[in-house]
Amino acid sequence: MSQPTTAASSTRSLPATVGKSELTLVVPPTEASAKTAERGFRFWMVMLAICSSLFLSALELTAVSTALPTIVHDLHGTDFVWAASAYSLAATALLPASGGLAQVFGRRAAMLLALALFALGSALCGAARSMDWLVAARAVQGAGGGGLLALSSIIISDLVPLRERAMYNGLIGVTWAFAGALGPLVGGGLAEGGHWRWLFYLNLPVSGIAAVLVIVFLKLRTPEGSLSEKLGRMDWIGNALIIASSCAVVIGLTWGGVRYAWTSAKVLVPLVLGLAGMALFVVYEAKVARHPLVPLALLSNRTSLSGYVQTFICPVVVLAAVYFVPTYLQACKGTSPIRSGVLELPYAFTMGAVLVLTGGTIAARKAYRAQLWAGWAAFVLAMGLLSTVRADTPTAHLVGYTVLLGAASGIVYAATYFPVLAPLPVAENAHALALFAFFRSFAGVWGVTIGTAVVQTQLGRRLPPDFVEHFPGGVAIAYSAIPVIPTLPEPLRAQVTAAFGDSLVVLWQVMTGIAAIGLVASLFMKGLPLHTQVDESWGIEEKHAPPRKLELPKEMV
């Protein structure tokens, strides 16, 4: 596998006059200095298309979870797990491939494909007549949603140098946080009104508008060559290995403790095969692949490796909190699903505000380490405070702790991007960001799975035996019992709520330890300067300039 050219071995010096002093700019020959002038109308239309696409993806992810019980009831379903996980499964498995598609076929073609898949999946979900139909449609939708997540980051990296990217990432973060806060309310409202199909149909016009904006304004340079040549540059074996391995691992994690016991062969076999397949994928990419899907140079330095570890740890903690804070509110405080969503709004709004603030500090100071250290320290503190919450703790205390958690989430989500990319040449943006999105998506599965395993195990030990015998084992203990808790006589009700509160304490203690791993990982990154260049190969075609052919790197020919 060819290594990326380093700045020390392939740079040229250019004089640049600033006032009366002369500076020497070191610019790699395959890159162009980014324009610092005010960005034009076309750029902002591209940003609008990206924000619209990400808003759809985030809204879908959070709104469907609230509406799912109504959807399953209307479709006469019994197993809701796959309706929820099919989206994440498809998104996670196909994320690495999106970087390869963008690199070979161009950003616009890959973005349009992702939008088309998302729109097709939405239409099929809205028209679903059975649970099997819905699960298949959610997989199609997830394939598009995962592509939108990765390609949006890739396109921004093409247009904005790393040094200036923090503020634009903040804008993306606000879009995501707003959609995440709005999703449960929209999903619950449409479900209660019997109009859940419109939750999917409303995606169609917005997807259409985003596609038009992409077609008209996203005129980035694309690789030359015939279709057969481009197909030949795709890492088909690598794609097959990572997709199959990811699917096997996610299936094992989804089934474990929910449908089958963790010791069941139906859980252990896909987990073992999936992890073995991932190990084989790493060996294949390093030793065999001519055009590797994930060049191991991405993980060859300690700063990028630290960034990827932090990228993985953050969603594990956040998703556990997002799923199990409502569990606490409904089981221990008797709140309704809509009310528990309202109580989570301070978390979402704090996260969005801190995302923007963190982006501003990175843009101003051109540094990221102090922010990440502060974010991880806040993570450990927030989870430690949550571990003090019992069934009789005032709700205001819990909400306050989640506000601190939102601040920590906003800092880390905004800043992990920079240690990943700072050590790498800008030509590796597509592969690096696709892997970044893969780690972030895959981590969410682990967060929910670890949380479910801990809570189920603890509830099995703590719930009164005469209460447990009325419910089936597995996940039903944690969730089927919640609606009946307010109807229980005392002292049984107090015993059950105490069991839920004490079980969740153990979960928060586990997540405190996992957050501490993120803090330790952050200590290994270096404070590297942020790029002032973008990859000229993928810039916007200017109207006054003749079309510029994109010459592929020698190793891709």
Q: What is the pLDDT along the chain (557 residues), one digit of tens a residue?
A: 333 333 333 333 333 333 333 333 333 434 444 444 346 788 888 888 888 877 877 777 667 766 776 777 688 765 556 666 677 777 777 776 776 677 777 788 888 888 999 999 999 998 988 888 888 898 898 888 888 877 887 788 777 877 777 777 777 777 877 787 777 778 777 776 778 888 888 888 888 888 888 888 877 666 666 667 666 666 778 878 877 887 788 778 767 766 777 788 988 999 999 999 989 988 888 788 777 767 777 777 899 999 999 999 998 999 888 878 888 888 888 887 677 778 888 888 888 889 888 888 888 888 899 999 999 999 999 999 999 999 989 999 999 999 999 999 999 988 998 898 888 887 777 778 777 877 887 787 778 778 877 887 788 788 887 777 766 554 455 555 677 788 888 888 888 899 899 999 999 999 999 999 999 999 999 988 876 655 555 455 555 444 444 444 443 44
| Spatial contact of 328 and 500, defined as CB atoms under 8 Å apart | yes
Q: Judge if 225 and 312 occupy the same domain.
A: no
- Using DSSP's 3-state secondary structure scheme, residue 543 falls into coil
CA 396 – CA 231 distance, rounded (Å):
57
Looking at residue 120, which CATH number applies to its domain? 1.20.1250.20
Q: Judge if 140 and 243 occupy the same domain.
A: no
Is there a domain that residue 11 lies in?
no
Q: Judge if 169 and 261 occupy the same domain.
A: no
Domain encompassing residue 277: 236-289
CA 552 – CA 538 distance, rounded (Å):
11
Encoded amino acid at 44, one letter: W
Is there a domain that residue 382 lies in?
yes
| Spatial contact of 512 and 380, defined as CB atoms under 8 Å apart | yes
Encoded amino acid at 453, one letter: A
CA 421 – CA 307 distance, rounded (Å):
9
**Structural tokens at position 548:** 């510029």
Q: Judge if 223 and 248 occupy the same domain.
A: no
- Using DSSP's 3-state secondary structure scheme, residue 388 falls into coil
Q: Judge if 272 and 308 occupy the same domain.
A: no
Q: Residue 24 pairs with which residues in a beta bridge?
A: 15
Please provide residue 17's backbone torsions phi and psi, each rounded to the nearest 5 degrees.
-95, 125
Is there a domain that residue 8 lies in?
no
Is there a domain that residue 19 lies in?
no
Q: Judge if 117 and 174 occupy the same domain.
A: yes
Angstrom distances, CA of residue 344 to CA of 138, 324, 348: 26, 11, 7
Q: Judge if 448 and 503 occupy the same domain.
A: yes
CA 415 – CA 434 distance, rounded (Å):
17
Q: Judge if 452 and 546 occupy the same domain.
A: no
DSSP secondary structure letter of residue 13: E
Q: Which residue has the tokens 């960001």?
A: 433
Is there a domain that residue 417 lies in?
yes
Q: Judge if 179 and 230 occupy the same domain.
A: yes
CA 217 – CA 31 distance, rounded (Å):
22
Q: Looking at the 3D structure of the chain, how many domains does it have?
A: 3
Residues ≥6 apart with Cβ < 8 Å to 23: 15, 16, 17
- Using DSSP's 3-state secondary structure scheme, residue 432 falls into helix
Q: Judge if 461 and 404 occupy the same domain.
A: yes
Is there a domain that residue 132 lies in?
yes
Q: Judge if 93 and 221 occupy the same domain.
A: yes
Is there a domain that residue 31 lies in?
no
Nearest to 410 by CA among 183, 182, 172, 92: 172
Residues ≥6 apart with Cβ < 8 Å to 65: 84, 183, 184, 187
Is there a domain that residue 21 lies in?
no
Looking at residue 381, which CATH number applies to its domain? 1.20.1250
Q: Judge if 135 and 268 occupy the same domain.
A: no
* Global model pTM greater than 0.75: no
